[in-house]
Amino acid sequence: MKLFGSSGVRGVANNDLTPEFVLRVATAVGTAWGASEAAVARDTRATGSTFADAAASGLRSTGIDVHRLGVVPTPGVQAYAEREGVPTVVITASHNPPQYNGLKLIGTDGVELPVSDLERIESVLRTERFARARWDEVGAARRVEGARRAYVDDLLDAAPRERIGGADLTIALDPGHGAGSLTSPDFFRRLGCSVLTIHAQPDGTFPGRDPEPVPGNLGDLARLVRTTDADCGIAHDGDADRAIFFDERGEYIEGDAALAALAAATLDAGDTVVSAVTASRRLQDVARAVGADVSFTPVGSTNIVAQIRDLEERGESVPIAGEGNGGIFFPEYRLARDGAYVGARFLSLVADRPASAVVAEWDGYRNVRRNIAYDDDTEREAIMAAIEERASAADTEVDTTDGYRLDYDDGWVLARPSGTEPLVRVYAEAREHDRVTELAEGMERALERARAGVEA
């Protein structure tokens, strides 16, 4: 059983993920934590309070007193967990569609639980060795008000306030009916911005748009930027740990371009930037230009967190990390992805020049993604053997952090098996359209041939 994927437990509510199941997981969590107190929070999903009730019941049955935080963005929950020193269960499915829900676990340090802790919880669940409390020792529950306000106060303390406040910025903000609806408008206003909002009422049916901040879901935000004098558009996912941007013309800014611009403004010589092996060449360009290193991890934010910790323990400086999906870490602020904080860091660049100019240097790359599906282990092995063969024949540097990434002077291609679906994913990037097509299709054809060889 592999219960916790790279981003916690997720599934379609009342189908894959039932309240009974959440109750059992929370009972296992309570057993493994053995804490006296813990917290439960959620995003705005329609099924959120049902699952939060189930999680609280499970924890209380093991004798833990539960702080009920209500709707709070995941980074705000992480801030609470650290401030109060209580481990926390977050009921969220992040960017997944409205019918999904899920569960994420935060330690007393405010950081997502490491894999070793998750494995311990899985083992309790598997063996059903629940440490249920005696009838007169079950935990109490209390409602905690003010977690959101405290989070916004923290954000204001950490954000580059003077730079932003002095720039008289107007922003268009789309929290996508998620948890950020209750914090980000207030935060950006208190930073001194004029804030125009869309889809900013919390609503678990997500009437205006789906929670994932991808261009296809953000047409309304683009129009809002275009029809006003906004300097920048900012969108969050359902639990507001990600930020995606639009420039002053209403043009979508690729997540990789925003990450590169932020990295360029943050990295110094000798620093290391941590990213998943799917990272854009732009990040390598930035690092090379300033004399910093890029450290790749397998895909998944848990891996990025583990790598940041590992490097910092070895005395390396990691001022920025993250991926091109808007999930960016500034570890000196918090070892968490925080959409509002990332928004503020980006605005501090927009204070100097238009958003389009901030990212102009990092535009102009083309990315291609392909999926190659397989039916069984034999096909999977044939595909993996073909990738390996192609990698060893390639006259270039090969990175095997997660699959095989072949880096050339003018682009790269990566093939890696998906952790959740029977697919091998192929990613390619280059400046030239023909080159990116050649890289992606070359790999794709070789893998299709290998799979067809099994069928023949």
Residues known to be catalytic = 94
CB nearer Mg ion, residue 84 or residue 237: 237
**What's the 3-state SS for 291-333?**
CCEEEEECCCHHHHHHHHHHHHHCCCCCCEEECCCCCEEECCC
Of 101-109, 206-214, 235-243, 408-416, the window that binds Mg ion (rule: CB under 5 A) is 235-243
Q: State in angstroms the smallest separation of the CB of 437 from Mg ion.
A: 32
CB nearer Mg ion, residue 239 or residue 444: 239
Which of 106, 403, 411 minimizes the C-alpha distance to 276? 403
Burial class for 349, CB neighbours closer than 10 Å (0-12, 13-18, 19+): buried
Distance, CA of 182 to CA of 44 (rounded, Å): 10
Q: State in angstroms the smallest separation of the CB of 176 from Mg ion.
A: 11
Concatenated DSSP letters of 428-441: EEESSHHHHHHHHH
In the DSSP assignment, the letter for residue 259 is: H
Distance, CA of 147 to CA of 70 (rounded, Å): 9
Structural element, H or E, at residue 170: strand 170-174
CB nearer Mg ion, residue 241 or residue 247: 241
Tell me if 444 contacts Mg ion by CB under 5 A: no
Q: State in angstroms the smallest separation of the CB of 69 from Mg ion.
A: 17
CB nearer Mg ion, residue 37 or residue 237: 237
Tell me if 338 contacts Mg ion by CB under 5 A: no
CB nearer Mg ion, residue 44 or residue 272: 44
Distance, CA of 58 to CA of 403 (rounded, Å): 38
Give residue 243's Cα distance to chain centre: 9
Residues of span 236-275 touching Mg ion by CB under 5 A: 237, 239, 241
Of 91-99, 129-137, 397-405, 425-433, the window that binds Mg ion (rule: CB under 5 A) is 91-99
CB nearer Mg ion, residue 94 or residue 266: 94
Residues of span 184-223 touching Mg ion by CB under 5 A: none
Tell me if 94 contacts Mg ion by CB under 5 A: yes
Burial class for 96, CB neighbours closer than 10 Å (0-12, 13-18, 19+): buried
Contact letters for Mg ion, residues 122-161 (x by CB under 5 A): ----------------------------------------
CB nearer Mg ion, residue 199 or residue 380: 199
CA dist list (Å): 244 to 174, 235, 297, 303:
10, 5, 22, 22
Q: State in angstroms the smallest separation of the CB of 342 from Mg ion.
A: 12
Q: State in angstroms the smallest separation of the CB of 47 from Mg ion.
A: 17
Chain residue whose CB lies nearest Mg ion:
94
Of 110-118, 231-239, 270-278, 342-350, the window that binds Mg ion (rule: CB under 5 A) is 231-239
Residues of span 381-410 touching Mg ion by CB under 5 A: none
Cβ(103)–Cβ(8) below 8 Å: yes
Q: State in angstroms the smallest separation of the CB of 178 from Mg ion.
A: 9
Distance, CA of 245 to CA of 172 (rounded, Å): 10
How many residues at the interface with Mg ion, by CB under 5 A? 4
Burial class for 422, CB neighbours closer than 10 Å (0-12, 13-18, 19+): middle
Question: Encoding tokens for residue 128?
Answer: 């059903």
What are the residues binding Mg ion (CB under 5 A)? 94, 237, 239, 241
